[in-house]
Amino acid sequence: MTETTPQSAAYDRAPKGEPGKDFEEIWAQPPGLKVISSVSHRVVGKRFLVTGFIFFLIAGFLALLVRTQLIVPENTFLDSETYNQVFTMHGTIMMFLFAIPMLEGFAVYLIPLMIGARDLVFPRLGAFGYFCYLFGGLIVLSSFLFDAAPAGGWFMYTPLSTGEYSPGLAPDFWLIGITLAEVASVTAAVEIIAAILCSRAPGMRLSRMPILMWYFLATAFMIAVAFPPLIIGSILLESERLLGLPFFDPAFGGSPLLWQHLFWLFGHPEVYIIFLPAAGMVATMLPTFVGKPLFGYGYAVAAVATMAFLSFGLWAHHMFATGLPEMSLTLFSAASTMVAVPTGVQIFCFIATLSQGRPRLTVPMLFVLGFLFVFVLGGLTGVMLASVPFNLQAHDTHFVVAHLHYVLFGGFVFPMFGALYYWVPTFTGRMMSERLGAWVFWLIFAGFNLTFFMMHLTGMRGMPRRIATYPEGIGWDRLNMLSSIGAYMIAVGVALFIWDFFRHQRSGPEAGRNPWGAGTLEWLYPPRPPGYNFRAIPPVRSREPLWDQPELTDRPPAEVAGALRRYPDHRRETMGCDIVTGEPLQILRLPHPTWFPLISAFGLALMFGATLASVYWLVAVGALVALAGITGWMWEPSDSGGARDTGLDDLRLPVNLPRHGTHLHVGTVGTILIGFALYVSLVFAALYLWNTEPAFAAETARPGSLPALLAVAGGLVLAVAAVVTHRTAARGSLGLAAVLDGLIALAALAIGALLWTALAPIDPFATAFGAVLWAVGVFVATHLFVVLYWGLFNAARKAVGAVRPGQTLPDLLLASFCKATGTMAALTGAALLALGGWP
């Protein structure tokens, strides 16, 4: 169905000579069940938000089971094993299947609306990510159906999660399902980075971006760097459980602490990955209800960048009790304290904005104020826990649980509810109830503080976390009773929100154009905006264009002047911009609805599910389905070239410009960044075991020196050959370029064979260090397979005439990827050469 309502359609009558009907048909969503093939950012964003909220409700129900078990001493409501499963799944769902996907949903939905684009630059990638998230979440939840829910905590510490101590499939459900769901996170990171940097409205330079875009951009870069360590750790742990490789087994030189390092290299940045987008929503809503621009915009942006950087330097904040050296404790304690500085800068910017006017106490504003109160308290206890002596006393007590919830519930859930009330008119075209919304806020606010403030006290009285029951008469009884009552209050508040949401869709007052009086572009059209967001993409000269540019608000949106009003090619298009200045650079050609993202994600899910079930022939089938989906996804004519009028002062721009700095190149660079983060995570694992278990590293067989040396040379040759191929294609020699593509594929195959030969003397089952070396080799070989496939793919497209002279974009992207892969191969070969000695 189309997303254009009668109200918005009335504002979208195209001028004479530019038939609006055809334009609406171009952007219309498929009817009936075919809507599943939609790749619209508004459809995909809603899917993320709805699915994430459902997971939130499931995790909330599990939390109520936990609090019911702890409401009285020596309770038998849940047995110990069930209790372990319940709190493990509660934490897992909240951290992996609710918080991150919800912020991705807001980003996917809001970014094009706020930067003046008609869609994201990679709509199919967003749809693919959603289906990976959905299938991964279903795998995790299905563990309940098989009585195999994980019970080792949401952090899945080793050795408890290894096959020796956790036989059965419970940890495998966690490892496989969460890894698949994380694919959605890293694909969303690439999507967000490319969209924000490369598709802003004309004139929207970086310093004019809505503040929320800076928060999303920093978060996306953090996801690209922080999630790979956990992905690598999960694959290593699953390989140990499935194949017997000794990555974490001390008997073979492995280390359980290696898992903690990999996990918290992801885990602590994740706290800020969750917090930053929520703080960006606060920074967006505050100026609206105060009626003044955000105070200290530049300071807030600098604080966001600083926090993103510092968050990677304090992962061992969670490992103070593991026996780290005193120097490490000192450094990580200082870093944990230092991160409070950029956090404080943002809070002061928010408070200063409040002081500039008299805020309207709407429901979103109530949740903003609740966020400020709760998160600041969580930050104060965070500074307490940064102190090593206090941390050692409070470690693994309810005090830490309370701190975690004050930071994450206060730092994300309160802004989330405020954002839902704020942006829900763009979803439904109606306003939710202010009176019921106030009840929702006060029930959640009071219930939350009753629940978790008491847990600070039980923690200070020594109550450990993750215990199913406790004896009577030691000072925990009444506090736990109050905590459980508070949890029920939160549940009532959430239930009231759900009822109001469904009620308002039938009887809520219609939202007019810009119902909150905001200054950002998502309110240019009346709710709900049409499926294409902007009939003409307006030039931007301000951070608050709806406040400062009267030509945008003094006429119907369809009459607002802008770019791409005409559509001679009858294709979905938006504007591409210079990364820094925001000046128009190209016309971006966007895809129409397609089934290929679903097919690709289904194939990947089939691979993961078949691995879980140990049906390995089905793993191969899933791989073929995924490869077929990706091939169909990529096999479409390249539309680069051909300058066209944009409607901006006779400015003519090319379609899908084949050069550096465009959306496809930025997306490729983002993918390479994720690849290098994965590679560095494996190198970190190897160096950690080499440093902490030197005897086992010395016992590991030496790799082959000559093939390692040849692999170094091959990696360098691969990088150069890809550049030569791109330049050959640019000169119009498509036949020669196709031959060179084939040679690149052969070079990738040869380098993979050399690395295999170099690693052959090493037994990966003999030592953990040897197993990690093989893991590095397999990872590089995976990249080489991508180069092999990509080279053959490009050669085939040239051979059948799917590429015209001058269309060099595929070769440019392959050249960038080959340079990264060649570098990884050369570095790996050099490391093996150093271990094996000069031939």
Confidence band of 732 (pLDDT split at 50, 70, 90): low
**CA 25, CA 16: separation in Å to the nearest integer?**
17
Residue 215: pLDDT over 70: yes
Residue 242: count other Cβ atoms within 10 Å of its Cβ: 15
**CA 639, CA 618: separation in Å to the nearest integer?**
37
Query: What are the tokens at 116?
Result: 């003046």
Residue 12: pLDDT over 80: no
**CA 123, CA 590: separation in Å to the nearest integer?**
8
Residue among 833, 830, 817 nearest 718 (CA):
817
Q: Which residues contact 78 (CB under 8 A, 6 or more apart)?
A: 65, 68, 69, 86, 468
Confidence band of 8 (pLDDT split at 50, 70, 90): very low
Q: What is the pLDDT of residues 622-637, one digit of tens each?
A: 999 999 999 999 886 5
CB 537 within 8 A of CB 562: yes
More confident residue, 195 or 650: 195
Query: What are the tokens at 292?
Result: 């003044």
More confident residue, 508 or 636: 508
Q: How many alpha carbons lie under 13 Å from residue 16 in its C-beta half-sphere?
A: 0
More confident residue, 320 or 730: 320
Residue 813: pLDDT over 80: yes
**CA 203, CA 542: separation in Å to the nearest integer?**
9
Helix (H) or strand (E) holding 799: helix 768-799
Residue among 41, 46, 203, 208 nearest 126 (CA):
41
Confidence band of 7 (pLDDT split at 50, 70, 90): very low
Residue 4: pLDDT over 60: no
Q: Which residues contact 527 (CB under 8 A, 6 or more apart)?
A: 7, 8, 425, 426, 427, 428, 429, 430, 511, 513, 515
Burial status of residue 2 (CB atoms within 10 A of its CB: 0-12, 13-18, 19 or more) = middle
What are the φ/ψ torsions at residue 334 (nearest 5 degrees)?
-65, -40
Residue among 532, 557, 634, 432 nearest 43 (CA):
532
Residue 22: pLDDT over 90: no
**CA 527, CA 514: separation in Å to the nearest integer?**
8
Residue among 260, 265, 231 nearest 775 (CA):
231
| 469 DSSP 8-state letter | -
**CA 676, CA 668: separation in Å to the nearest integer?**
12
Helix (H) or strand (E) holding 720: helix 705-730
**CA 174, CA 166: separation in Å to the nearest integer?**
12
Q: What is the pLDDT of residues 94-148, one digit of tens each?
A: 999 999 999 999 999 999 999 999 999 999 999 999 999 999 999 999 999 999 9
Q: How many alpha carbons lie under 13 Å from residue 222 in its C-beta half-sphere?
A: 30
Query: What are the tokens at 461?
Result: 């009285």
CB 732 within 8 A of CB 806: yes
Q: What is the pLDDT of residues 519-572, one digit of tens each?
A: 999 999 888 767 789 999 999 999 999 999 999 988 888 788 898 988 887 889
Residue 19: pLDDT over 80: no
What are the φ/ψ torsions at residue 644 (nearest 5 degrees)?
-140, 155
Burial 770-796 (b: 16+ CB within 10 A, else e): bbbbbbbbbbbbebbebbbbbbbbbbb
Q: State whether residue 573 is helix, strand or coil.
A: strand
Q: Would you state the pLDDT for residue 638?
A: 53
Q: Would you state the pLDDT for residue 641?
A: 57
Q: Would you state the pLDDT for residue 11?
A: 36
Query: What are the tokens at 626?
Result: 């995924």
Q: Provide mean pLDDT across the span 664-691.
A: 96
- What does the DSSP assignment read for 227-293? HHHHHHHHHHHHHHHHH---TT-GGGT--HHHHHHHHHHHHHHHHHHHHHHHHHHHHHHHHHHHTSP
Q: Provide mean pLDDT across the span 422-442.
A: 95
**CA 728, CA 737: separation in Å to the nearest integer?**
6
Q: Provide mean pLDDT across the span 191-203.
A: 96
Angle between helices 100-115 and 256-290 (to 10 degrees): 40
Burial status of residue 554 (CB atoms within 10 A of its CB: 0-12, 13-18, 19 or more) = exposed
Query: What are the tokens at 486?
Result: 């508070």
Residue 14: pLDDT over 50: no
Angle between helices 768-799 and 809-836 (to 10 degrees): 150
Q: What is the pLDDT of residues 741-791, one digit of tens each?
A: 889 999 999 999 999 999 999 999 999 999 999 999 999 999 999 999 999
Strand partners, 397: 464
Helix (H) or strand (E) holding 826: helix 809-836
Q: Provide mean pLDDT across the span 678-700.
A: 96
What are the φ/ψ torsions at residue 305 (nearest 5 degrees)?
-65, -40
Token pair 């304090």: residue? 314
Q: How many alpha carbons lie under 13 Å from residue 460 in its C-beta half-sphere?
A: 11
Residue 1: pLDDT over 80: no
Residue 598: pLDDT over 80: yes
Residue 53: pLDDT over 80: yes
Q: Would you state the pLDDT for residue 738?
A: 84
**CA 738, CA 793: separation in Å to the nearest integer?**
10
**CA 767, CA 646: separation in Å to the nearest integer?**
62
Query: What are the tokens at 606?
Result: 């089939």
Strand partners, 574: 588
Q: Would you state the pLDDT for residue 569?
A: 78
Residue 73: pLDDT over 90: yes
Q: Residues of the chain with pLDDT > 70: what percent?
A: 96
Q: Which amino acid is at 688?
A: Y
| pTM to 2 decimal places | 0.95
CB 115 within 8 A of CB 539: no
Q: State whether residue 608 is helix, strand or coil.
A: helix
Residue 55: pLDDT over 80: yes
Mean pLDDT of the chain, nearest integer: 92
Residue among 89, 44, 40 nearest 66 (CA):
89
Query: What are the tokens at 534?
Result: 């902007």
